[in-house]
Amino acid sequence: TQSTRPQRLLHAVQKNATKGDPRSVVKAIDNFCRQKEWAMNVGDEKGCILDSVVSEVNPVTVLELGTYCGYSTVRIASLLPPRAKIITLEFNPDYAKIARQVIAWAGLEDKIQVVEGPSGEWIPKMKEQFGVKTFDLVFLDHWKDRYLPDTKLLEDCGLLRKGTILLADNVICPGTPDYLEYVRNSPRYKSQYFKSHLEYTKAEDGLEKSVFLG
Ligand SMILES: O=C(NCCc1nnc(-c2ccc3[nH]cnc3c2)[nH]1)c1cc(-c2ccc(F)cc2)cc(O)c1O
Ligand SMILES: [Mg+2]
């Protein structure tokens, strides 16, 4: 049977990255996507912006929406302080299976919890299921039409606090116009656009960083 792209990405990690070395896992995926097959990881250019935001926020509790193969999950977790945790939501069970193996190869299982299922169902359960009070950082990288409803859901569930940072991928390509309009015009957010490129291409894309003002 034919392998899937996520499976081929995982094999590239297992072949080219050093077990237990997260940065070598990130490098191996970027090399695979540049040289072999494009895949929808945040990539190295936007990844450097992600790194700088994570290092500035120094979060203890992180929510990632959209795990895919775990590239950004590993990238974020490799920068977290010892007790910090990431909860990452993945809708597609095949992606989740691959992501768990990529995360294991990086040796970051203890910092990362991969949760399978729709964000709309899991966000209201975060407090009771995972003992989360509020998130310090939310990385939005899932279905683009879910960014706005899930942001409103996070607000309504009291999962954001004054100063929580929302960082959203793909606000230009594929684009999240309703989300952008909301965070840029709502008095409850202070928003900033980081212009970049769609991973592994010359097309414009960027990250939107929004601070929740409470
Ligand atoms: O669709 C994307 N990412 C989403 C994957 C995902 N992985 N998990 C989910 C999930 C997780 C919980 C959910 N709960 C409800 N829906 C859910 C969906 N979604 C995506 C697409 C592109 C892209 C650009 C240009 C193109 F020509 C084609 C594609 C680039 C990117 O950087 C992306 O991130
Ligand atoms: Mg993305």
Residue nearest to atom 25 of ligand 1 (CA): 174
- Report the complex ipTM: 0.97
Residue nearest to atom 19 of ligand 1 (CA): 142
Complete DSSP assignment for 159-192: -EEEEEEEEES-IIIII-HHHHHHHHH-TTEEEE
Mean pLDDT, the chain cut into blocks of 10 residues (214 residues total): 96 98 98 98 98 98 98 98 96 98 98 98 98 98 98 98 99 98 98 98 98 98
Write the single-letter amino acid at 210: S
- In the prediction, which pLDDT does 13 show? 98
pTM over 0.90: yes
Rounded distance, CA 19 to CA 40, Å? 23
- In the prediction, which pLDDT does 1 show? 82
- In the prediction, which pLDDT does 24 show? 98
Pocket of ligand 1 (CB under 6 A): 40, 65-66, 68, 89-92, 95, 118-119, 141-143, 146, 169-170, 173-174, 198-199
Structure tokens at 187: 């008095």
Q: Is 126 exposed, middle or buried (0-12, 13-18, 19+ CB in 10 A)?
A: buried
> Mutate which of 50, 143, 167, 202 to test ligand 1's pocket (most atoms within 8 Å of Cβ)?
143
The tens digit of pLDDT for each residue in 76-128 reads: 999 999 999 999 999 999 999 999 999 999 999 999 999 999 999 999 999 99
Give the active site residues: 141, 144, 169-170, 199
